[in-house]
Structure 1
Amino acid sequence: MNSYAALLRGIMPSNPNMRNEKLRGVFEGLGFDRVATLLSSGNVVFRCADSDEAELEDRIQEALNRELGIAGGTIVRGHEDLRALIDRDPFAGRTHERGTYLTVTFFKDRHPEVATPEAADELTEIIGYDAEARAFLTVIDNSTPRTPDFMAWLDKTYGKDITTRTWLTIQKVVKKLEA
């Protein structure tokens, strides 16, 4: 059995169709094993015999749309890939804390044409693009209620086929996959 994390875009726990128990139900209905949700922001871990992540993304997204009306994006990453990202320690020496968020923006595309802006806004430090994880790594100044321009740039440049998680969330997902 392979272990995966599905990172769902646009999940709002206030929407009754987006609650964890309903999300788990969709994944269980697809025949996946050891389905569990993490936090209330669209992180679902599961096991299955399938090994094609793109096919899993499509199957999951179709089921979410059909059964719960969730049209957002689904990005799947295997346990080994997420574990390898953590082991590379891309944020070495930095701490995720109240005013400084370490973030990972995952791309659905298998071979994205990645453009890095000349300079991020004053609220964002770009650590870089991790090709193995297909993810941008950034440090966000979260001490202000303003949304960083970089996040808007990501959405404008790459559309809905991306999703962002904090580094702490990625660590929690991997821990859940290893439980």
Structure 2
Amino acid sequence: MKTYIALLRGINVSGQKKIKMVDLKTMFENLGFTSVTTYIQSGNIVFKSDKEDIDFLGHRIKERILETFGYDVPVLVLTPKTLKSIHQKNPFSKRIMSGEIEEKKMYFTLLGSAPETINPETCIATSSDGEEFVITKNVVYFFAANGYGKTKLNNNFFEKKLKCSATTRNLKTLIKLLEISKSNS
């Protein structure tokens, strides 16, 4: 059995697509997954499966959410190794460690597929003072000095500009998911 992390996009946000974590956990267990652990209400699930195809797992979870709860929810499944690599490659890490930028304002927009095009200039025009980002093939590293709630460079923006599905998590959530996946191994 391998450990995986499923990230659901857009559940329990502003009263939309409400799913109780206990019900989500039961749904995962009914799919045959084990060691299912949820983290906060925004759709973060660590689980084990004997399947090794993450695209298959994501598709199956997406189908079952639609069947069980009636919501069409994008699902991104990652291995702990992939998430750890994303965390380690954060180009803002040194500045966070030095205190130059605030840890709580660091975000990761995880991409469901490699962007069709990467043109940072189209995003720079929309950014505000204090916002910085680095776009890679699987994540947008994003520092929002004024907070994520005030930025125009949100998840929907990056999906539209990069022409791929995405889901965003803050640094605290990313670290917690890595801790949970490590204890699940």
TM-score normalized by the length of structure 1? 0.85
Q: State the 1:15 CA deviation.
A: 6.3
Mapped to 2, the partners of 1:145 and 1:88 lie a distance apart of 25
Q: In 2 relative to 1, CA 163–15 (structure 1 residues): closer, same or farther, beyond 3 Å? A: closer
The total of aligned residue pairs comes to 172
Q: Counterpart of 2:168?
A: 164
Q: In 2 relative to 1, CA 145–32 (structure 1 residues): closer, same or farther, beyond 3 Å? A: closer
AA matched with 1:104: F
Which digits, 9 at most, give the CA deviation of each residue in 1:122-179, with x for residues without a partner? 1563331233xx1111101235953x22225214335672100001111100000011
Indicate yes or no: 2:58 matched with 1:57: yes
Q: Counterpart of 2:152?
A: 149
Q: In 2 relative to 1, CA 73–158 (structure 1 residues): closer, same or farther, beyond 3 Å? A: farther
Q: In 2 relative to 1, CA 80–25 (structure 1 residues): closer, same or farther, beyond 3 Å? A: same
Q: Counterpart of 1:125?
A: 131
Cα root mean square deviation, aligned:
2.3
Q: In 2 relative to 1, CA 127–154 (structure 1 residues): closer, same or farther, beyond 3 Å? A: closer
Specify which structure has the higher proportion of strand: 1
Which runs of 5 or more residues in structure 2 are unaligned?
A: 97-101
Q: State the 1:16 CA deviation.
A: 8.4
Which runs of 5 or more residues in structure 1 are unaligned?
A: none
Which digits, 9 at most, give the CA deviation of each residue in 1:6-31, with x for residues without a partner? 00011117568511001101110100
Q: In 2 relative to 1, CA 5–121 (structure 1 residues): closer, same or farther, beyond 3 Å? A: same
Q: In 2 relative to 1, CA 137–49 (structure 1 residues): closer, same or farther, beyond 3 Å? A: same
Specify which structure has the higher proportion of helix: 2
Q: Secondary structure at the match of 2:120?
A: coil
Q: State the 1:58 CA deviation.
A: 0.3
- Whether contact under 8 Å (1:38, 1:173) holds in the other structure is yes
AA matched with 2:128: E
**Seq. identity, %:** 26
Q: Secondary structure at the match of 2:47?
A: strand
- Whether contact under 8 Å (1:4, 1:77) holds in the other structure is yes
Q: Secondary structure at the match of 1:138?
A: strand
